[in-house]
Amino acid sequence: MTPPAGPSLQTAPIVVQHPGSWANATTHYCPGCGHGLIHRLVANALDELGVRERTVGVAGVGCAILIYNYLDVDFQEVPHGRAPAAATGIKRARPDLVVFTYQGDGDLAAIGTAEIVHAAARSENITVIYVNNCVYGMTGGQMAPTTLPGQRSETSPEGRDPATQGHPIRVAEMLATLDGAVYLERVSVTHPENIKVAYRAVRKAFTYQLEGKGFSLVEFLSPCPTNWGMKPIDAMRWIDETVSAYYPLGVIKDREPVHLAHLVQQPPTAFREDYMHGFRYETVTQATEDELGRHTRRTHPFGRRGGRWVSVDGEEYRPSDHDDSEDED
Amino acid sequence: MKAVGTKAVEMMTEVTGEPRVPLGERVLMKGNEALAEAALKAGCRAYFGYPITPASEITSYMARWMQVEGGTFVQAESEVAAINMVFGAAGTGTRAMTASSSPGISLMSEGVSFLAAAEVPCLIVNVMRVGPGLGGIQPSQSDYFQATRGLGHGDFRVIVLVPANLQEMVDLTFEAFSLAEKYRTPVLMLADGVLGQMMEPVTFTRVIDPASMPEPEWATTGASGRPKRVVKSLYLDTGELEEHNVALQQKYRRIEQAEVRWNTYDLDGARILLVAYGTSARVAHHAMELAEERDMPVGLFRPITVYPYPYDALREVVEERGIEHILVVELSAGQMVEDVRLAVEGRCPVSFFGRSGGTIPAPLEVLDAIRNVAEGLPTARAASKKGGAS
């Protein structure tokens, strides 16, 4: 039985093809790795925004250091963790260029914490693609700053014990406390719906850069079946069921930078709506103090006008209370 | 003569609308600020720095004037970040630099190794202070080993320039950017706390417009109408990596052939040769004059590049002039003296005089050291400058 005659490969209309920003190299990534997908999303976004010709990527150290083999754009490859600093140099020297870093969790959240925090604090107009797979991949599966409590790795063979090995870092939430961080979203690539959301996030992050809005970061929860010791499908399932429970997906922050002058001149009504870890920041006025019937702690993080952190149910956050309870434990 | 400091410059420029530091005019400037001004005039348009004594004025001067010149200035969160910002900016073909002092340079080591490996040109200034550790803020020359040998991991060198006065420092700043770009390598300006903090008259003779410089054919500026470019140092294939290393070494041999600089003073009739660089060369020069007044046959050899080191030139001086003893003077416990021994290869004895811990020797101390050496010479007491070498 002969197969039905279809259009020939030469004449068939092209339904789908590699993006122009794609270099079409043979992959070196393990089966089930998330990097290939994420590279592709970046390439698609650069294509769609038409910026391939003026893009410079900065490759962090890790499995994805070889991203410059897969994307057909100019690249700089820099020391471990320093990509945000190099990207700062590129963008400041050539503001007309579109600059992004591509960093793993060891690169960004361990050795490169100072660089990412200060790039965000300066609101560098760059895009950071941050790939969090909860493990050091390239060096063979050691514990990363993002390794979950209880997760086994080469250097936490009994499972990560927060008592001795510390707690994981939620990078997007940590950066959200910085006024300079404009857009922070956490996404995953576990199934087509999530990939669509992830693509929109990447595109938005680059769009913000083109609009000159400032620092944006997209955190990907990405599978590492090899170092997790799982089948690729189980790795995806583990992200959906466990990893994204610890690192919740969604927009962590999406707002213009808060400027001091604005806060000093007008009450920061918009800022009051921002909840961080269940607390919101509220301006303390004489009226507030009259209402409370006592003098509040006037911390002054935003200039002369003092403020305080208040929980959702109106309880004031007091560092000393917090410390006391820790001590009792 | 005008005295030009940050405040003075600012007032003068704002009040008169005249150029900040006019060309061709002799002005009195602080070393750090003269160096920064020279970098601006040499077309440097990206500066990244972190404050540290005694190099801070360079960063302050750049903060004030870089943006006026249309360049970019960022106060980095650390020297680690600063050198990587230099990497990024220089990687786009922009003339970029950073400046620091000894502990900060140690922090930059990682980045310098990557810059050298990826062949990214830039200027790094080390206004040396005394170590080890936090040490102190007094001048020193104790980073010589680091500068010429150990500025980072791997088989690489950077060109190291060692000025001895501010005019030379200004001229070498222009030179440094040219050398960096010619050889695609980081260049280190190895000054010290004295040169950074002292004031001396300097004259600026030219200005380079960065717009007049062509875009380098390796710079990452967006792959428009050309294949993509990657500025990198990773070569996973051992064959390819060896080729890369061999090419780097060939480049260093070319530098050693073409870029050695030095100066000599009063070699006629000299039997004792002082060898010193930077601030210690100033002290040595004074000591030499004192020795000459006392009829001691002394000359001075001053390297201006310490990588590449003037090995051949020094050996030739020793051979041709019949030098009988070398006295190396340094603000360290003895670092360059090793290069001097490598240069003379046992042709004559090599002694060392140095002070460390931030103390600068008085010329009379050096004179004592010269006297000790002179007394050991075969006909020391009878030796006079004119009749010494025959």
Looking at beta carbons, which residues of chain B come within 8 Å of A114? Answer: 77-78, 80-81
State the 10-residue block means of pLDDT for chain A, 329 residues long: 64 80 90 96 96 97 95 97 98 97 97 98 96 96 96 95 95 93 95 94 97 96 96 95 93 71 43 49 66 61 52 62 42
Given this model, what pLDDT does residue B4 score? 63
Given this model, what pLDDT does residue A308 score? 63
Given this model, what pLDDT does residue A293 score? 73
A118/B81 touch (CB, cutoff 8 Å), yes or no: yes
Q: Are residues A206 and A298 in the same domain?
A: no
Q: Please write the tens of the pLDDT for every residue from B50-88.
A: 999 999 999 999 999 999 999 999 999 999 999 999 999
Interatomic CA distance for residues A172 and A218, integer angstroms? 8
Q: Are residues A159 and A275 in the same domain?
A: no
Q: Are residues A286 and A212 in the same domain?
A: no
Given this model, what pLDDT does residue B13 score? 61
Interatomic CA distance for residues B98 and B209, integer angstroms? 20
Percent of chain B at pLDDT above 70?
Answer: 92
DSSP string, A192-232: HHHHHHHHHHHHHHHHHHHTT--EEEEEEE---HHHHT--H
Q: Which CATH superfamily is domain B2-212 in?
A: Thiamin diphosphate (ThDP)-binding fold, Pyr/PP domains (3.40.50.970)
Given this model, what pLDDT does residue B380 score? 45
Tokens for A65? 């250091």
Average pLDDT over residues B140-154: 95
- From A195, A222, A254, the end of a domain falls on A254
Looking at beta carbons, which residues of chain A come within 8 Å of B77? Answer: 114-115, 117-118
Residue type at A145 in one-letter notation: P
Tokens for A71? 């994307």
**Which domain, by its residues, includes A272?**
260-328
Element spanning A258, H or E: none
- From A238, A254, A270, the end of a domain falls on A254
Q: Band the pLDDT of B101: cuts 50, 70, 90.
A: very high
DSSP B95: -
Q: Please write the tens of the pLDDT for every residue from B13-42.
A: 655 666 788 899 999 999 999 999 999 999
Q: How far is B318 from chain A (nearest CA, A)?
A: 44
Q: For residue B26, report the phi and psi dihedrals to the nearest 5 degrees.
A: -80, 120
Of B84, B94, B231, the CB nearest to A82: B84
A3 vs B198, residue with greater confidence: B198
ipTM higher than threshold 0.95:
no
Task: Give the start-end residues of each E strand in A6-104.
Answer: 55-59, 74-77, 98-104
In angstroms and rounded to an integer, the radius of gyration of the C-alpha atoms of chain A is 23
Report the residue of A66, A92, A209 to disrupt the B interface, i.e. the one with the largest count of B CBs within 10 Å: A92
Q: Are residues A179 and A311 in the same domain?
A: no
Given this model, what pLDDT does residue B377 score? 86
B222/A88 touch (CB, cutoff 8 Å), yes or no: no
A97/B221 touch (CB, cutoff 8 Å), yes or no: yes
Nearest CA in chain B to A76: B231
Q: Are residues A106 and A224 in the same domain?
A: yes
B84/A72 touch (CB, cutoff 8 Å), yes or no: no
Average pLDDT over residues B267-276: 97
Looking at beta carbons, which residues of chain A come within 8 Å of B234? Answer: 65, 77
User: Can B2-212 and B262-376 be said to share one CATH topology?
Assistant: yes
Q: Please write the tens of the pLDDT for every residue from B298-322.
A: 999 999 999 999 999 999 999 999 9
Q: Are residues A176 and A315 in the same domain?
A: no
Interatomic CA distance for residues B30 and B5, integer angstroms? 7
> How many C-beta atoms surround the C-beta of residue A194 within 10 A?
19
How many interface pairs between A and B have CB atoms less than 8 angstroms apart? 136
- CA–centroid distance for A267 within its chain: 30
Q: Within 13 A of B338's CA, how many CA atoms are on the CB side?
A: 8
pLDDT of B212 higher than 80? yes
CATH of the domain at A234: 3.40.50.970
In contact, B200 and B164? CB cutoff 8 Å: no
Q: How far is B221 from chain A (nearest CA, A)?
A: 7
Looking at beta carbons, which residues of chain A come within 8 Å of B220? Answer: 56, 74-76, 90
Q: Are residues A67 and A205 in the same domain?
A: yes
Q: Which residues pair with B231 in a beta bridge?
A: A76
| Measured torsion, CA atoms of residues B248, B253, B255, B258, in degrees rounded to the nearest 10 | -150
Looking at beta carbons, which residues of chain A come within 8 Å of B228? Answer: 23, 68, 72-75
Q: How far is B238 from chain A (nearest CA, A)?
A: 16
Given this model, what pLDDT does residue B386 score? 44
Nearest CA in chain A to B45: A93
Q: How far is B316 from chain A (nearest CA, A)?
A: 42
B262-376 has which fold? Rossmann fold (3.40.50)
A90/B230 touch (CB, cutoff 8 Å), yes or no: no
Q: Band the pLDDT of B226: cuts 50, 70, 90.
A: very high
- Cβ neighbours for B166, distance < 8 A, ≥ 6 positions apart: B29, B31, B34, B195, B198, B199, B200, B201, B202
Give me the residues of A, 1-30, that contact B with CB < 8 A: 23
Q: Are residues A43 and A87 in the same domain?
A: yes
Asked whether residue A284 is assigned to any structural domain, the reply reads yes
Of B84, B110, B223, the CB nearest to A86: B84
Any B CB within 8 A of A97 CB = yes
Any B CB within 8 A of A107 CB = no
Asked whether residue A8 is assigned to any structural domain, the reply reads no
Q: Are residues A168 and A287 in the same domain?
A: no
pLDDT of B213 higher than 60? yes
Of A77, A117, A118, the CB nearest to B232: A77
Given this model, what pLDDT does residue B12 score? 57
Given this model, what pLDDT does residue A3 score? 62
B91/A87 touch (CB, cutoff 8 Å), yes or no: no
Q: Are residues A92 and A226 in the same domain?
A: yes
Interatomic CA distance for residues B52 and A105, integer angstroms? 31
Any B CB within 8 A of A85 CB = yes
In angstroms and rounded to an integer, the radius of gyration of the C-alpha atoms of chain B is 22
Three-state secondary structure call for residue B353: strand
Nearest to B256 by CA among B160, B119, B341: B160
Asked whether residue A22 is assigned to any structural domain, the reply reads no
Three-state secondary structure call for residue A130: strand
Tell me the H-state helices in B20-165: 31-41, 56-65, 79-90, 102-118, 144-148
The number of distinct structural domains making up chain A is 2
Q: At what angle do helices B311-321 and B336-344 cross, to 10 degrees?
A: 60
The structural domains of chain B, with segments of one domain joined by +, span: 2-212, 262-376
Q: Are residues A271 and A213 in the same domain?
A: no
Interatomic CA distance for residues A203 and A197, integer angstroms? 10
Of B86, B224, B225, the CB nearest to A89: B86
